Amino acid sequence: MNAPPADGFVVFAKEECHTCQLVTPVLRALSRSDQKLAIYTQDDPAFPAGLAVIDDTALEQSFHHDIETVPTLIRFSAGCEVARTVGWDRAEWERITGLQGLGEGLPGFQPGCGSRSREPGVHEHLVARFGNPGLGARKVTLGEFDDEAEACFDRGWTDGLPVVAPTDARILRMLAGTSRKPDEVVGLIPPNLAPCTVEKVAINAVMAGCKPEYMPVVLAVVEAALDPVFTMHGLLCTTCFSGPVIVVNGPITRAIGMNWGINALGQGNRANLTIGRALQLIIRNVGGGRPGEIDRSTIGSPGKISCCFAEDETDPAWQPLSVARGIAPGRNAVTLFQGYGLQACMDQRSRTAEELSRSLALSLSAVMHPKLYSATAAMLVLSPEHYAIFRAAGWDRARIEDSLLANSTRPGKDLVAGAQGIAEGMPAKFADMMVPKFWRGGLLVVRAGGPAGLFSGILAGWPGTGIRDQTQPVTREIKP
């Protein structure tokens, strides 16, 4: 590392910058003065030709001097910076150098170019290499020839799919997506109740494949999952199929490119899949929630890798799920639901709202078991073509939900254990009652999907949601 002169001038330049080429005669004039001059070149060690230059292609000096634009002229006195200017401005260069008549024949002013140290993705690498990253998580050093992906598999850090190695530069880039401090504790992650900092969230977001702009969503998801009423520990160790289902509302869904349309619950969208995956990796890597250990799901579900999507808010007449759950209109929010699926509901013949409501209610009656009522919640993912039938009839969210709840209520005599020759069922005390499939608030309706068919979907709830005063979905506003 070549230190700048204690007294004199330092210039940072690069050959591909036209302004740096323009001021080459000025640099030659400075080199002939009685002042010390150090020229750091960012790209071509031979530029400017005919002058003594210092190779800064590694960008170490550019980083330490916080160079944003080239050319940059800096004056030092007694080892301290006393003046700086960027680009070419004859008056400023003359003022700082004390030399008159610089750059005769050149225009009086020409802006510079961006420093290579500020190119996208570069700054974080320089912080990791030459600065103080300020990261507190334990660092694992691999051998020179170790494969990063295989090392993560070997250490049990993956969900069965390859992860992105969380290097210092990648973590720093991810942390740039939030204004929160890296050492802030977000909460205690079950089952081990291990403290999770914003930095550890960022590490797992990197591993999941997130982009930095997803970080506010990921942080809100983690905080919602840690709300006691979500009972993440119970959801994790259940023998059932369930896991966190994440629905995102608000302008941020467009900003980060989430999918609420065709294949919204399927593959192909980075934001949808990696946000949900980040939460699952945090539970695994920070909290210790691994399948076969505390995770005792009998069969499991693909949604335990990721189940995350945006709600379709393109119809201003529709009340978004987040607003229905108390968030102000236009605000960004996440809702976490304990669920699994997807159970298909195909109805291509209903043409009235009443017909469709009865049809959807019949499909909803199969959640968990057709004879188990008021035992769990559910989420109905209403497709655009089914929604259009309700919309044409003037039905809003409240009318749809009321009708579905009414149409999914059944006589208890058909549901009790033993009825219809089926041992499973409700206790005998319900025989003379009309029994609702869901309690009010136990059926969440969300709009999503593409105009590709008269198909809607059902995400069945976790049996633990039947204990309504202890386990509920959670909605949390997204903060920067």
Terminal C-alpha separation, the chain: 38
- pLDDT grade for 469, boundaries at 50, 70 and 90: confident
What is the distance of C-alpha 86 from the center of its chain?
36
pLDDT digits (tens, 9 = 90+) for 314-359: 999 999 999 999 999 999 999 999 999 899 999 999 999 999 999 9
Q: Which residues, including other chains, have CB under 8 Å from residue 47's CB and lie 6 or more apart? A: 13, 14, 15, 20, 41, 53
Which of 132, 223, 221, 133 lies closest to 175, judged by CA?
133
Residue-level pLDDT at 480: 87
* d(C-alpha 435, C-alpha 406), whole Å: 10
Residue 1: pLDDT band (50, 70, 90) is low
Distances, alpha carbon 139 to alpha carbons 48, 135, 203, 231, in Å = 41, 9, 11, 31
Q: Which CATH number fits domain 8-119: 3.40.50.300, 3.40.50.2300, 3.40.30.10, 1.20.1250.20?
A: 3.40.30.10
Report pLDDT digits (tens) over 46-92.
999 999 999 999 999 999 999 999 999 999 999 999 999 999 999 99
Q: Taking all residues of the chain, what is their mean pLDDT, rounded to a whole number? A: 95
pLDDT 10s digits, 427-467: 999 999 999 999 999 999 999 999 989 999 999 999 888 78
- Three-state DSSP class for residue 434: strand
Give tens-digit pLDDT for 86-117: 999 999 999 999 999 999 999 999 999 999 99
What span, in angstroms and rounded, lies between the C-alpha atoms of 472 and 418? Answer: 31
Kindly give, in sequence order, each residue whose CB lies less than 8 Å from that of residue 158, ignoring residues fewer than 6 positions away.
Answer: 152, 207, 281
Provide CATH 3.40.30.10 ranges for the chain: 8-119
Question: Which amino acid belongs to residue 225?
Answer: A
What are the tens digits of pLDDT across the range 142-195? 888 899 999 999 999 999 999 999 999 999 999 999 999 999 999 999 999 999
Beta carbons within 10 angstroms of residue 133's beta carbon: 17
Question: What Cα–Cα distance (Å) separates residue 421 from each residue in 184, 191, 344, 412, 425?
Answer: 57, 41, 26, 15, 10
CA distance to 380, 416, 445, 452, per residue, from 449 (Å):
12, 36, 13, 8
CB 27 within 8 A of CB 51: yes
pLDDT of res. 294: 87
